[in-house]
Structure 1
Amino acid sequence: MTRSPAWKRLIPLLIPVLAGSIGGAANTLSAAPESIPLPGDAAYPESITSTADGTLYVSSFASGGVLRVRPGAEAEIWIKPGAFETRSTFGVLADEKSGILWVCSNDLSALGVKGPSEVKGAALKGFDLTTGEGRISAPFPVSPAICNDITIGPDGAAYVTNTLGPQILRLKPGSGTLEVWKSDPLFAPEGKEAGLDGIAFGKDGHLYVNTYTKAELFRIAVTDGVAGAVTPLTPSRVVVLADGLRPLEDGSFLMAEGGGRLDRITVEGDAARIEPLKDNIAGGVTGVTKVGNTAWITVGQLAALTDPAKKGAGPDLPFRLHAIPLKSP
């Protein structure tokens, strides 16, 4: 009987090992990156949103415009700075049902941030989610105003926070005029504080908001689209500079903290259980969006523009988006 060489007799044993190694390498190559660099030395990303295919959209506190990151591609300028009479861009929200990318536009010249145009005031802008063309422009009917962030209600309307006043505004489907939907003294900022910021509807149909400087959390009761009582929520731990708020499928929320954390918030009665998912994030977290089992966050480094003690030092380049794996609650 002819015997095979010893190395040939090992082939059946090596095939599963080699296959696993090759598969592992392929998985590594195709895996999503841990971070994505953003172009330019003045991106200062303020907010982020995403579509079902994993495309990311990012606003810019200083440069304006909107960056787009398609899956597997580099970040690109999609909506040019200053387009459709925009200036500094804040909250962004992709509404695939209506085919609109909602964008908050603001004049930050009072903060020493010139922006890409001379357009005055605050406005909610709507861009075609396919072409990027401007379709809707709704100026804020109140002053002072900063259009901060956006959510879509069960009625299909866009709800927007005003950081410089105590108002939540609403833009009904088909309308081009913002209306004050809810105003409450609990939301009012004091002095140079920044007030209302993150906003999201819960699975219970009620609206949830936070305030930036005081880092408070509130629930606004909603019945048939009508705003009801405002209830402060007691957090389980201290929150520092509450920012972007996004709902999760299980009824909890993701929240960005300008103090350098990403949190999961679970509302339990009038209490908010806050679970840090990632902390010690240098530069502060300004926005968050969920793609699959990953949270993508924007690190704004806004202090380089707004903190007198840090002005002149410059940001840490390049600006980046960071991926944070999510676990089941």
Structure 2
Amino acid sequence: MHMSHVFILRVLTGVVSTALLASSLAAQERVEVTINDTGVQAENLTSGRDGTVYFGSTAKGTIYRAAPGAAQAEPWIQASTAGLTNVLGVLADDARNTLWVCQNNTGGRGGAPVVGQTALRALDLQSGAPKGTYNFPSNGGVCNDIAVATDGTVYATESFANRIHRLRPGATALDVWIEDAQLAAVDGVALLADGAVYVNTFFSGRLFRIPVNGDGSAGALTPIETSLTFTRPDGLRAVGAQTLLQAEGQGRLTEITVTGSRAEVRVLREGLTAAAGVTLVGDRAFVLVERAKAVVVPYARADRR
């Protein structure tokens, strides 16, 4: 390579590295991310590798996005154009350039007409363009949260129907992966390095592991004994080989380290009003509070401490 080309390459590399560093520092400077709208009623949030933070809205169906380092999330995917009515779980899947969304219907109470279809939705992570819609078998329960395995299998919890749905790579429809009475009000879902699916239940405050059998089917539902009890556990995210972060409705952010059928729970922050979701950006946990904003809690992953 000509020396002038080497020099140019080094300059460009330096520019890119500087930009990435600046973006990382900006992200770390945020103390909270607010949503630039009213009456949003966000239920969950997620983040991409670049530090972009995404929020859903149960009240409006719109999806909001805060650029890396930005302290405010702006309307991004409008409910009226995307066919969204009630968004709960959202999950950024960088590996597949997909934003997975739990879309739910509205109405149905007191004779009111049902509006919309409960479904797992796939949207382009960069443009927001629709990529796929996977209806729940019955337009009844609540699509709550989402996790994606390394092989691309997607798992979505259905609260109040005691089940978890699965979307296999290349499939055009969901299938019911597991249904069990112990999964009443199943909420958050995540996968750890052992390949098992972990879920919590909102009302009973329990944590379960569900192994994935060799043929992809669900193994035996196993309760995990925890060193602290949970109160209204909600958003659940994997942040290490054996480690989860969990937002609890009682106002607590906890770290859960699973070993076998027991988990050690470490309280990271209390006093978080109506904590409902959590996502990790670098060494900062962004916790959804008050259904309207994310507050930043410094956090060093177990494998970095």
- Same fold flag (TM > 0.5): yes
- Structure with larger Rg: 1
- How many Å apart are 1:111 and its aligned residue? 7.0
Q: TM-score scaled to structure 1, two decimals?
A: 0.79
1:83-113: per-residue Cα shift (whole Å, max 9, x none)? 332211000011111111000011243579x
1:123-178: per-residue Cα shift (whole Å, max 9, x none)? 11110111101111111003531000000013211100000111110112222311
- How many Å apart are 1:119 and its aligned residue? 3.2
What is the alpha-carbon root mean square deviation over aligned residues?
2.2
Verify the 8 A CA contact 1:43 1:63 in the aligned structure 2: yes
Q: How far, CA to CA, are the matches of 1:82 and 1:161 in structure 2?
A: 25
Percentage identity across aligned positions? 36
Q: How far, CA to CA, are the matches of 2:106 and 2:209 in structure 1?
A: 29
Change (3 A) 1:139 1:29: closer
Is residue 2:194 matched to residue 1:204? yes
Give the alignment partner of residue 183 of structure 1, picking from 176, 179, 182.
179
Mean Cα deviation higher: 131-140 or 169-178: 169-178
Paired residue secondary structure (2:79): coil
For 2:44, the aligned partner's letter is: S
Is residue 2:138 matched to residue 1:138? no
Q: How far, CA to CA, are the matches of 1:28 and 1:157 in structure 2?
A: 33
Partner of 2:13: none
Structure 1 spans left out of the alignment, 5+ residues:
1-26, 190-194, 302-318
Is residue 2:120 matched to residue 1:94? no
Paired residue secondary structure (1:155): coil
Structure 1 residue runs of 4 or more that deviate by more than 6 Å after TM superposition: 27-30
The residue correspondences of 1:125-274 to structure 2 (distance < 5 A) are 125-142=121-138, 144-187=140-183, 189=184, 195-224=185-214, 225-274=216-265
Q: How far, CA to CA, are the matches of 2:109 and 2:40 in structure 1?
A: 16
Verify the 8 A CA contact 1:86 1:119 in the aligned structure 2: no
Structure 2 spans left out of the alignment, 5+ residues:
1-23
Aligned length: 276
Partner of 1:81: 79
Is residue 2:53 matched to residue 1:56? yes
Partner of 1:323: 296
The residue correspondences of 1:40-55 to structure 2 (distance < 5 A) are 40-55=37-52
Q: TM-score scaled to structure 2, two decimals?
A: 0.85
For 1:84, the aligned partner's letter is: A
Verify the 8 A CA contact 1:91 1:104 in the aligned structure 2: yes
Change (3 A) 1:300 1:111: farther
